[in-house]
Structure 1
């Protein structure tokens, strides 16, 4: 490997280590405990090295937010591709959203401001990719006589309100219970979500 490539790889690895350390701190202590000094201590770097990669904490949070949206969009896309029927795809995509929220709890919190300040100035392209995948699939199942931008927007936010609302309720309860993971993903919650998704899809297709 050429010297220039080795240097770039070292920089990339250092950046990944900083981001991984940030998430580890949040998992152990919560978002309110995250600081540039703690990150440096976590991976035995000096604080100036951290600032070489991220100018401030807000820049670090923006990058974690961007990563979160990329992961969310990828999982939504993967869920869609497991089915061929549009309605089944749409339900699977929203279920993937639900699963992502609990699998990547810390990222979801910073993406949507649950127990953490939502990062201002989210990267538009990554945010839009996830929402566009869902919006486009809703458009696909809407009958031609209803297919207006306003109608599809309304249904998109109906879906999102239900899914995000249920996620938020469960996360808040889980935090109040002292990180008792058994609060997460119980069958009853998934059944409530599934019933709601099926109901909205049915109302669109009528």
Structure 2
């Protein structure tokens, strides 16, 4: 390996260590505790070195948000089209979404600004649009031709999303909601949307 390649690998390794340290802080202390100085302490570099890789805290948070969406999309793609029935496919996709939110809690909180403050949430990241695209594709399969418009698909996506994300958010700020109740509410809410489509 040449000098240039070795230096690039060292840079890549340092960048990864910075991201891992940030994730560790987010998991252990919450995203509001994140600082470049704290990251530097963990990886045993000075804060100015950290700034060589990320211009500011928001730049680092954007990288983490992108990582979170890539993880979610990978899981959604793994289950996508695993059911012939559009209803079952949509249910499975939202279940994956739900499971991701709690398995990757810190990523989810950061992705949607739950208990975090970051100017980056005003940005439109390409990664952030992929979950909607995948789930909307399944919704299209559900709709009859006369209703299969971009507007209707978007309306239904945001109806589903507001239910699922709303319930997830409640659980993240309230630890006393029984798991069994969550399942019942989620199933009933999704079923209600499916029924409204059938009766339109």
TM over 0.5: yes
> Which stretch of structure 1 is more off in the superposition, 126-135 or 77-86?
77-86
For residue 55 of structure 2, give the secondary structure of its aligned residue in structure 1: coil
Aligned to 1:196: 189
- Partner in structure 2 of residue 65 of structure 1: 65
> Mapping of 1:122-161 within 5 angstroms?
122-161=123-162
After superposition, residues 1-12 of structure 1 pair within 5 angstroms as: 1-12=1-12
Normalised by the length of structure 2, the TM-score is 0.91
Distance across 1 between alignment mates of 2:85 and 2:4 = 49
Stretches (4+) displaced over 3 A: 120-123
Q: 2:113·2:121 contact (CA, 8 Å) conserved in 1?
A: no
Query: Relative to structure 1, is the Cα distance of residues 98 and 185 closer, same or farther in structure 2, using a 3 angstrom cutoff?
Result: farther
Q: Who is 1:163 aligned against?
A: 164
- Which moved further from structure 2: 124-133 or 114-123? 114-123
Q: Deviations over 1:85-115 (max 9, x none)?
A: 3221111111111111111111111111110
Q: CA RMSD in A?
A: 1.8
TM-score (norm 1): 0.88
Gapped regions of structure 2 (runs ≥ 5): none
Unaligned runs of 5+ in 1: 175-182
| 3-state SS, counterpart of residue 120 of structure 1 | helix
Mark the CA change 1:5 to 1:204 in structure 2 (over 3 Å): closer, same or farther. Answer: farther
Q: 1:25 to 1:139 in 2, by over 3 A?
A: same
Distance 1:135 1:185 in 2: 30
Q: What is the CA distance between 1:121 and its match in structure 2?
A: 4.3
Distance 1:128 1:190 in 2: 26
- Find the residue that maps to 1:82 and give its secondary structure: coil
Instruction: Count residues with an aligned counterpart.
Output: 198
Paired residue for 2:112?
112
